[in-house]
Homo-oligomer: A and B are copies of this chain.
């Protein structure tokens, strides 16, 4: 029997979302729970089981399910583990796929959220039919999933695709990783916030954002102001696009992708970021690729993308 359903689970620092998905990417059932409050990961897996088991029953039981795909920060595909995730409550190396397999009696596969997004996009979204593309997730940080020859690149240790930690500025901004000048300190929700704060300090230009109470400035308020034509907010977007465009130009020189697909909070403003990023990317890239590599937005509904991405891992499993 060819099982037509998969469970997708996306574990975030705050919430975990999950659902049952068919091969076409239809989300049949979904739900959410807090990731927090489970000191031990086995208690978390128990709680997941108590919520997902009823969904599985509703679709006809475990024999309908090909497997479970899990996207998680610092997820390692080879080992089925979460390794030293700074934003999760469980420290060290967590053998998540084994815990899930034991509790659910189903095959399980783990990878990081950006890799899951890439597989999701290839299975159900903008990258359908593509064999070479790069997925960039612009959230709190910058994640990436690289697909070449139709396969996700996991690398020797399972942690490939850390474009957020390519150094783009010598002695640049301090990054959470302890180094300076990483791409994600500029091109991410927190990156554009740092840029805006710098601009508000350095420049005298009027801005809608000068009246925002301290601590309430965010990537969203910056993008909203930019859409309204706020000059300083537009400058922050342009600066972000310039650094991102340059980094993408270098990424193209690596794997010569057909497309680069952007996903995540920072891309909600659409063309506002996309157009200048494409401009800088095409200006900086080796001429053979100028104007040839598509820069596009994800075609997965954002509210469903994490579950879809995780579920799509299942279709890549060997039978």
User: Chain A interface (Cβ within 8 Å of chain B)?
Assistant: 130-132, 146, 148-149, 151, 153-163, 165-167, 177-179, 246, 249-251, 253-258, 284, 286-289, 292
- SS class, residues of chain A in contact with chain B: loop
**Known interface pairs A165-B286, A250-B166, A286-B177. Does A149 touch B153 (Cβ–Cβ under 8 Å)?**
yes
User: How far is it, in angstroms, between the C-alpha of A236 and the C-alpha of B199 when the chains are bound?
Assistant: 38
Cβ 8 A contact of A255, one of B160, B165, B179, B258 = B160
**Which residues of B are found within 8 Å of A287, using beta-carbon distances?**
177-179
**Which of A157, A163, A253, A287 lies at the interface centre, i.e. has the most chain B CB atoms within 10 A of its CB?**
A253
CB of B256 within 8 A of CB of A254, answer no
Q: Which 6 A-B pairs have the closest CB atoms?
A: A155-B256, A160-B256, A156-B258, A162-B253, A132-B156, A148-B153
Closest chain B residue, CB of each to CB of A134: B254
CB of A255 within 8 A of CB of B177, answer no
User: How far is it, in angstroms, between the C-alpha of A156 and the C-alpha of B129 when the chains are bound?
Assistant: 12
Cβ 8 A contact of A166, one of B179, B253, B256 = B253
**Known interface pairs A153-B149, A246-B167. Does A160 touch B286 (Cβ–Cβ under 8 Å)?**
no
**Which residues of B are found within 8 Å of A156, using beta-carbon distances?**
130-132, 256-258
Cβ 8 A contact of A249, one of B163, B167, B249, B292 = B167
**Which residues of B are found within 8 Å of A157, using beta-carbon distances?**
256, 288-289, 292
Closest chain B residue, CB of each to CB of A288: B159
User: How far is it, in angstroms, between the C-alpha of A131 and the C-alpha of B153 when the chains are bound?
Assistant: 11
Q: Shortest CB–CB separation between residue A159 and chain B, in angstroms?
A: 5
Cβ 8 A contact of A254, one of B249, B251, B284 = B251
Q: Shortest CB–CB separation between residue A173 and chain B, in angstroms?
A: 15
Q: Shortest CB–CB separation between residue A72 and chain B, in angstroms?
A: 16
**Which residues of B are found within 8 Å of A158, using beta-carbon distances?**
256
- What are 28 of the A-B contact pairs (CB < 8 Å)? A132-B160, A146-B255, A148-B148, A148-B155, A149-B153, A153-B256, A155-B255, A155-B256, A155-B257, A156-B257, A156-B258, A157-B292, A158-B256, A159-B288, A160-B254, A160-B256, A161-B254, A162-B253, A163-B253, A163-B254, A165-B253, A166-B250, A166-B253, A177-B286, A177-B287, A178-B287, A179-B286, A251-B254
User: How far is it, in angstroms, between the C-alpha of A160 and the C-alpha of B292 when the chains are bound?
Assistant: 14
Closest chain B residue, CB of each to CB of A182: B286
User: How far is it, in angstroms, between the C-alpha of A179 and the C-alpha of B283 when the chains are bound?
Assistant: 10
**Known interface pairs A132-B156, A177-B287, A287-B177. Does A167 touch B256 (Cβ–Cβ under 8 Å)?**
no
**Which residues of B are found within 8 Å of A149, using beta-carbon distances?**
149, 151, 153-154
CB of B146 within 8 A of CB of A254, answer yes
Q: Shortest CB–CB separation between residue A294 and chain B, in angstroms?
A: 10
Q: Shortest CB–CB separation between residue A278 and chain B, in angstroms?
A: 17
